[in-house]
Amino acid sequence: IINKIEKETIKRVKEVKQYIDPSLTWSQAIAAVPDSVYAVCREAHLRARENDVILMPYSMVLPLILYMYRLHLQYAMSLDMENLQNHLISISKNLNEMETILENQIARGSTMISNAYSTYKQIISKIKSSLTELQIKPPEDYNPPATLPQERAPKKKLEKPK
């Protein structure tokens, strides 16, 4: 009866093997059998291994699936962490580039504008000083005329001799 059980188990292993498609599924499959069948099989374990099938008793299927699910969650999380790490590196590079632009271009431009402002203030001050010096200060006893120069009678033009 044990040989008959082994032959039937090997048939099941071959049947399960047909469901393996590495492009769509995991490269191995699980064939679950009753605990009593699992305990008497010897040859079936070897054939299962050769066919990339994991032979296991019913009592171990749930713990294995839960473990694989947990492993998947852990692996999926590490992909997200890798993605996060890549974005953090990108942000760091962009911040460094922005800092370089601030220091080399904007700060330099700001300094140039500040220097130009100071230079212009000096030039304007010199011009104002020159204008002040050029202004004729009236004597203290000087009384300005009642009419402005534009309101006076027009001057006659001198004609050139012909």
91-120: per-residue pLDDT in tens?
889 999 988 888 888 888 888 889 999 999
The answer to whether residue 7 is domain-embedded is yes
The answer to whether residue 55 is domain-embedded is yes
Confidence check: pLDDT of 162 > 70: no
pLDDT higher at 7 or 84 = 7
Summary mean pLDDT of the chain: 83
How far is C-alpha 105 from the chain's CA centre?
23
pTM for this entry: 0.44
The answer to whether residue 66 is domain-embedded is no
CB atoms under 10 Å from CB of 32, counted, come to: 20
Cα 48 from Cα 13, distance rounded (Å): 6
State the total domains in the chain: 1
The answer to whether residue 40 is domain-embedded is yes
Confidence check: pLDDT of 148 > 60: no
Confidence check: pLDDT of 10 > 60: yes
- H-helix or E-strand containing 15? helix 2-17
The answer to whether residue 107 is domain-embedded is no
Q: What is the pLDDT of residue 14?
A: 92
Helices in 102-145 by DSSP H: which ranges? Answer: 107-134
Range of the domain at 17: 2-59
Q: What is the pLDDT of residue 34?
A: 93
First to last CA, the chain: 152
